[in-house]
Structure 1
Amino acid sequence: MELIKYLNTATKLSPGEAEHVDRSFSKKEYAKNVLLERPENFSKQVYFIEKGLVRAFYYKEEKDITHMFFDEDSFLVAFESIFFNRAHPYGLEIVEPSNVRTISYAQLDVLCNTIPAFKDHKLLVALKMISRLSEKIYSLQFHSADQRYKDLLHTTPNILLRAPLGHIASYLGITQQTLSVIRAGK
Structure 2
Amino acid sequence: MGHIREYYERILKLQETEWEFIASHFDRRVFAKNETITRQGETEKYLSFVETGIVRFYIPDDENELTFNFCFDKEFTCAYNSFLTQTPSEYELQALTETVVWQISYDDLQKVYAETKAGNYLGRFVSEKLFLQKSKRELSLLKHTAKERYLNLFNEQPDILKFIPLKYVASYIGITPQALSRIRRQIA
- So what's the TM-score if we normalise by structure 1? 0.92
Secondary structure of the 1:26 match is strand
State how 1:143-162 maps to structure 2 within 5 Å: 143-162=144-163
1:16 corresponds to which residue? 17
- Which residue identity is paired with 1:161? K
Secondary structure of the 2:18 match is helix
Between Structure 1 and Structure 2, how many residues are aligned?
Answer: 186
List gaps (5 residues or longer) in structure 2.
Answer: none
User: In structure 2, what is the Cα distance between the partners aligned to 1:97 and 1:61?
Assistant: 25
User: In structure 2, what is the Cα distance between the partners aligned to 1:14 and 1:183?
Assistant: 49
1:34 corresponds to which residue? 35
> 1:2-23 CA deviation, whole Å, 9 max, x = no partner?
1111111111111222222222
User: In structure 1, what is the Cα distance between the partners aligned to 2:109 and 2:127?
Assistant: 14
Q: Is the 8 A contact 2:60 2:92 kept in 1?
A: no
Identity %: 30
Secondary structure of the 2:179 match is helix
1:166 corresponds to which residue? 167
Secondary structure of the 1:158 match is helix
Farther-moved stretch of structure 1 (54-63 vs 131-140): 54-63
* 1:61 CA drift (Å): 6.5
List gaps (5 residues or longer) in structure 1.
Answer: none
Instruction: Say which structure is richer in strand.
Output: 1
1:73 corresponds to which residue? 74
- Which residue identity is paired with 2:98? P
Q: Is the 8 A contact 1:96 1:162 kept in 2?
A: no
User: In structure 1, what is the Cα distance between the partners aligned to 2:22 and 2:153?
Assistant: 33
> 1:10-47 CA deviation, whole Å, 9 max, x = no partner?
11111222222222110122221111011232122111
- Which residue identity is paired with 2:20? E
4+ residue runs over 6 A deviation: none
Secondary structure of the 2:24 match is helix
- Which residue identity is paired with 1:81? S
